[in-house]
Amino acid sequence: MKFRPVPDYHMHTPRCNHACGTIREYAEAAVAAGLTEIGMSDHSPMPGGFDAAWRMHRNELDDYLREAEACRDAFAGQLTLRIGLEADYHPGSEAYVADMIAAYDWDYVIGSVHYIGDWGFDNPDTLDEWDKRNIDDAYVDYFRLVAESAATGMFDIIGHPDLIKKFGHRPSEEGDRVLAAQQQMLAAVQQSGAALEISSAGLRKPVGEIYPHPDIVAEAARLGIPFAYGSDAHSPTEVGHGMDACLSLLHEHGIRHIAAFRQRQRQMLAFCND
Ligand SMILES: [Zn+2]
Ligand SMILES: [Zn+2]
């Protein structure tokens, strides 16, 4: 590894119905991969049946916390384990999410956008919806939602901030309004004080790229926005995946520090010596 290992803050459990592995297995995989810190961030409960099949139910939250706390204590001295959530930003659910965040001592909360209206744009089952959509509109709507998610001030990390590219759909060459929406998104993130996630998940998806695009990394670096790393592991085998590639991309843009969280307090860690 070219860089010092950094915390991997994005991983799931079978409670979301599309991941495998116990928290202990994620922790063991992290130790085996030479990581010293990870954080669990399973898909949070959401109100009103939103995306209900692919996330924890509210009545599973206590078990999730108990399992994570037990594992955190069992690995103390060997691995730092933080306890977080990946919550969705979906207009109308803010009060529910704010309550859920206030109800526990989270180390951090990731805010992600997976839906434009009722369209789960990153779900392979609704891929044909892309044929009915204008790609530029989808990007603009997506970046607007991510900007709104940051503006709520509820989130510590803005998750995989250009997930909209997952299947390789690209905005048009003259996509000035896409660029403007992207810029507004970054301004909102900067203002919120949240960290932007650099995620290796895109490397495992049709787009074959890190989230976010190098242009977004460059602009975020210019704005002084901090980054946090996440593999978005849905299996223990994915813990720490692509970490070096993500850190290389940040390094190319002059970034030398990565965010670490404890009880929602951010600290910046140097991941290299130069
Ligand atoms: Zn997931
Ligand atoms: Zn996600």
- Among all ligands shown, which has an atom nearest to the Cα of 235? 1
Ligand 2 centre and the CA of 186: distance in Å? Answer: 18
- Among all ligands shown, which has an atom nearest to the Cα of 146? 2
Q: Is the pLDDT of residue 64 over 90?
A: yes
Q: Which residues pair with 41 in a beta bridge?
A: 84
Task: Look at residue 125 in the predicted model and tell me its pLDDT.
Answer: 93
- Give the number of other CB atoms < 10 A from CB of residue 53: 8
Ligand 1 centre and the CA of 12: distance in Å? Answer: 7
Task: Look at residue 1 in the predicted model and tell me its pLDDT.
Answer: 63
3-state secondary structure of 257: strand
Ligand 1 centre and the CA of 213: distance in Å? Answer: 20
User: How long is the chain?
Assistant: 274
Q: What is the mean pLDDT of the chain?
A: 97
Burial of 125 per CB tally in 10 Å (0-12, 13-18, 19+): exposed
- Among all ligands shown, which has an atom nearest to the Cα of 12? 1
pLDDT-based confidence at residue 2 (cuts at 50, 70, 90): confident
Burial of 118 per CB tally in 10 Å (0-12, 13-18, 19+): exposed
Ligand 1 centre and the CA of 183: distance in Å? Answer: 26
Q: At which residue do the structure tokens 């070096």 appear?
A: 244
Q: Which segment of 117-121, 172-176, 214-218, 226-230 scores lowest on mean pLDDT? A: 172-176
- Residue 212, preceding peptide bond in cis (omega within 30° of 0): yes
**Rounded distance between C-alpha atoms, residue 98 and residue 168, angstroms:** 33
- Among all ligands shown, which has an atom nearest to the Cα of 19? 1
Mean pLDDT of 183-198: 98
Ligand 1 centre and the CA of 16: distance in Å? Answer: 7
- In the numeric block, which tokens belong to residue 75? 């690995």
CATH architecture for the domain at 14-270? Alpha-Beta Barrel (3.20)
Rounded (5°) CA angle 37-43-44: 110
Amino acid at 116: I
Ligand 2 centre and the CA of 19: distance in Å? Answer: 12
| pLDDT tens per residue across span 133-175 | 999 999 999 999 999 999 999 999 999 999 999 999 999 987 7
- Among all ligands shown, which has an atom nearest to the Cα of 211? 2
- Among all ligands shown, which has an atom nearest to the Cα of 17? 1
- Among all ligands shown, which has an atom nearest to the Cα of 53? 1
3-state secondary structure of 224: coil
Ligand 1 centre and the CA of 8: distance in Å? Answer: 15
Q: Is the pLDDT of residue 187 over 90?
A: yes
| pLDDT tens per residue across span 70-107 | 999 999 999 999 999 999 999 999 999 999 999 999 99
Kind of pairing, strands 257-262 and 265-270?
antiparallel
The dihedral built from the CA positions of residue 164, 167, 172 and 173, taken in this order, carries a sign that is positive
- Give the number of other CB atoms < 10 A from CB of residue 258: 25
Ligand 2 centre and the CA of 159: distance in Å? Answer: 6
Amino acid at 202: G
| pLDDT-above-90 percentage for the chain | 98
Q: Is the pLDDT of residue 208 over 70?
A: yes
| pLDDT tens per residue across span 9-56 | 999 999 999 999 999 999 999 999 999 999 999 999 999 999 999 999
| pLDDT tens per residue across span 238-254 | 999 999 999 999 999 99
Q: Which residues contact 137 (CB under 8 A, 6 or more apart)?
A: none
**Rounded distance between C-alpha atoms, residue 101 and residue 106, angstroms:** 7
- Give the number of other CB atoms < 10 A from CB of residue 254: 9
Q: Which residues pair with 116 in a beta bridge?
A: 119
Ligand 2 centre and the CA of 160: distance in Å? Answer: 7
Ligand 1 centre and the CA of 233: distance in Å? Answer: 8
Ligand 2 centre and the CA of 252: distance in Å? Answer: 25
Domain assignments of the chain as residue spans, ordered by start: 14-270
Burial of 196 per CB tally in 10 Å (0-12, 13-18, 19+): buried
Predicted TM-score of the model (pTM): 0.97
3-state secondary structure of 84: strand
